[in-house]
Amino acid sequence: MKVVAVAFPGFTFNDLAGPMQAFMMLPGFSSQVVWHSRDAIDSDAGVSVQATEEFGSCWKDPDILFVPGNTVSLFKQLQDDRTLDCIAELGSRAKWITSVCNGSLLLGAAGLLQGYKAASYWYTCEHLGLFGAIPTDARYVIDRNRATGGGMTAGIDFGLAMVGQIAGEAVGRVAELSFEYAPAPPFGTGRPELADPATLAQTTEMLKHLMPVEQLEGVRARRLKMGKL
Amino acid sequence: MKVVAVAFPGFTFNDLAGPMQAFMMLPGFSSQVVWHSRDAIDSDAGVSVQATEEFGSCWKDPDILFVPGNTVSLFKQLQDDRTLDCIAELGSRAKWITSVCNGSLLLGAAGLLQGYKAASYWYTCEHLGLFGAIPTDARYVIDRNRATGGGMTAGIDFGLAMVGQIAGEAVGRVAELSFEYAPAPPFGTGRPELADPATLAQTTEMLKHLMPVEQLEGVRARRLKMGKL
């Protein structure tokens, strides 16, 4: 089970961690962390990960292509056709095309979600429609060979669900117990509909600056013009 | 807020990711990833992280000392007094002494949990008592300046709770929404008491080989003899 995980400077550390931790429960798990160069790649959480391959040298036919998300760093990648084209190329041969959080915007802009139901971070989900996806407000969505998680922490639910999907439910159940995945969110504010008005207002104000969704129309227009959508 | 995260070869990737992602919400967050040498450190999930400092060169007075867990790789570190002594020294000056999963065994063997309530992975929790801790079967436990999470995925609950504890509940609530932490475990088998008998039996059999808890008496005897417990 060959997993190619794309990392980019500033990616959200936890977006990568949950899924990779789950994928490693798959029989024959083997992985590459891929970027344009074989460097240490800073995440957004004070930890750098090592890129093991470049896009040019990585597996051409991964079983799973995985893409994490982020805030400003993700929106920067959405302006970079070199990144989007590399993801599109990998996606053209990957058995599974997957993401967590707003990594689905990268898959979308790469042209990989047209006609597929897909999840994303709550703040960016509706915008998936710009790229021909069907925005779906769920913790994770598996539609044919596209599997997409919701915001960041959904990577664990997504990852365990993928283990169940690929290796069978019995393996998924063992993975969930071995991960001790019996969550207890300390504040109960993890979704807009659960949060009190002050928390929602403050978070939305913060995200408005970190996730410039008004740029997405331009990304769509550019990719359409290039014939990539 | 200076965070020193200890990584060791084979550490559980997700144990590190959840807490670091939460800590980065703390005002003035700054971090070091520390090991005996400044190398790329392989995790157990096909991703390597970069050690930014050695034990000798890292902050001597971190606000938070954090230690992840693992299976065989953690039990290997429990045999290494050099690692345990480095953790003990950092812990002697850290404001907060923290862990996730069975990282609490490392804190315990370093002599840092005597008389403190502490959490651990469900399979190893009761053994914390060998090191003078009070094993506590909870998703996370905060006892004075010791904060310990349960198994692996508890790192997110633990991390968000720490944000609330240190920066105030309002910041914790915003962090939880910004993380979209509204979990939906796909199988509902994340704790021994939730799992069906087959899942529990299979997982326990697997863990018996991966986590040699019978070695812990010897670790305790050695550390006691050295005057470190």
**What are the residues whose beta carbons fall under 8 Å from the beta carbon of A167, sequence distance 6 or more?**
A25, A26, A27
Q: Indicate which residues of A carry an active-site annotation.
A: 101
State the pLDDT at residue A181. Answer: 98
| Beta strands B40-42; B48-50: pairing state | antiparallel
Among B16, B151, B177, beta carbon nearest to A190: B177
State the pLDDT at residue A45. Answer: 98
Nearest chain B residue (CA) to A24: B45
Task: Indicate the pLDDT class of residue A28, thresholds 50, 70 and 90.
Answer: very high
State the pLDDT at residue A199. Answer: 98
Which residues on chain B are in Cβ contact (under 8 Å) with A48?
33, 49-50, 52
Among A156, A178, A187, beta carbon nearest to B206: A178
Nearest chain B residue (CA) to A182: B190
Mean pLDDT of A48-74: 98
A38-59 pLDDT tens trace:
999 999 999 999 999 999 999 9
A 19-78 residues with CB below 8 A of B? Answer: 20-21, 23-24, 29-31, 33, 40, 44-50, 52
> Which residue carries 């999470």 as its tokens?
B149
**C-alpha angle B207/B211/B214, rounded to 5°?**
120
Mean pLDDT, chain A, rounded, equals 98
Residue of B41, B179, B208, B209 best to disrupt the A interface, most CBs of A under 10 A: B179
A176 and B190 within 8 Å at the Cβ level: the answer is: yes
Amino acid B222 reads: R
Give dist(CA B123, CA B213) in Å, integer. 9
A196 and B176 within 8 Å at the Cβ level: the answer is: no
Collapsing DSSP states into helix, strand and coil, what is residue B151?
A: coil
What secondary structure does DSSP assign to A49-102, as a single string? EE--EETTTS-SS-SEEEE---SHHHHHHTT-HHHHHHHHHHHHH-SEEEE-TT
Amino acid B134 reads: I
Closest of A47, A41, A18 to residue A151, by C-alpha: A18
**What are the residues whose beta carbons fall under 8 Å from the beta carbon of A12, sequence distance 6 or more?**
A43, A44, A45, A68, A69, A70, A71, A101, A152, B21
A&B contacts, CB < 8 Å: 243
Among A174, A180, A200, beta carbon nearest to B151: A180
* Continuous H helices in chain A: 13-23, 72-77, 81-93, 103-109, 154-167, 169-178, 197-210, 216-225
Nearest chain A residue (CA) to B181: A190
ipTM: 0.98
B158 with B15: CB under 8 angstroms? no
Question: Structure tokens of B180?
Answer: 């979209």
State the pLDDT at residue A19. Answer: 98
Give dist(CA B56, CA B59) in Å, integer. 9
Amino acid B85 reads: D
State the pLDDT at residue B11. Answer: 98
Angle between helix axes B13-23 and A13-23 (nearest 10 degrees) is 160
Give dist(CA A44, CA A26) in Å, integer. 27
Interface check B165 vs A, CB under 8 A: no
* Blockwise average pLDDT, block size 10, chain B, 229 residues: 98 98 98 97 98 98 98 98 98 98 98 98 98 98 98 98 98 98 98 98 98 98 98
State the pLDDT at residue B55. Answer: 98
Hey, CA dihedral for B100, B103, B104, B110, is it positive or negative?
negative
Superfamily covering domain A2-225: Class I glutamine amidotransferase (GATase) domain (3.40.50.880)
Closest of B108, B103, B92, B23 to residue B60, by C-alpha: B92
Closest of A160, A197, A204, A209 to residue A180, by C-alpha: A160
Give dist(CA A208, CA A190) in Å, integer. 18
> Which residue carries 């994303």 as its tokens?
A120
Give dist(CA A76, CA A74) in Å, integer. 5
A47 with B13: CB under 8 angstroms? no
> Which residue carries 């709770």 as its tokens?
B161
Collapsing DSSP states into helix, strand and coil, what is residue A108?
A: helix
**What is the domain partition of chain A in residue ranges?**
2-225
Nearest chain B residue (CA) to A169: B187
Question: Structure tokens of B2?
Answer: 């200076």
Q: For residue A85, with 0-12 CB atoms within 10 Å meaning exposed, 13-18 middle and 19 or more buried, which class applies?
A: middle
A66 with A155: CB under 8 angstroms? no
Q: How far is B227 from chain A (nearest CA, A)?
A: 34
Q: How far is A158 from chain B (nearest CA, A)?
A: 8
Task: Find the distance separating the first CA and the last CA of chain B, reported in whole Å.
Answer: 29
Mean pLDDT of A86-99: 98
Q: How far is A225 from chain B (nearest CA, A)?
A: 34
Closest of B79, B82, B143 to residue B105, by C-alpha: B79
Collapsing DSSP states into helix, strand and coil, what is residue A206?
A: helix
Which residues on chain B are in Cβ contact (under 8 Å) with A187?
160, 164, 169, 172-173, 176
Closest of B50, B55, B170 to residue A45, by C-alpha: B50
Mean pLDDT of A147-161: 98
Which residues on chain B are in Cβ contact (under 8 Å) with A44?
21, 24
Task: Indicate the pLDDT class of residue A129, thresholds 50, 70 and 90.
Answer: very high
B 118-157 residues with CB below 8 A of A? Answer: 121-122, 139, 150-154, 156-157
State the pLDDT at residue A213. Answer: 98
Give dist(CA A211, CA A204) in Å, integer. 10
A162-213 pLDDT tens trace:
999 999 999 999 999 999 999 999 999 999 999 999 999 999 999 999 999 9
Mean pLDDT of A11-36: 98
State the pLDDT at residue A60. Answer: 95
Q: How far is B226 from chain A (nearest CA, A)?
A: 34
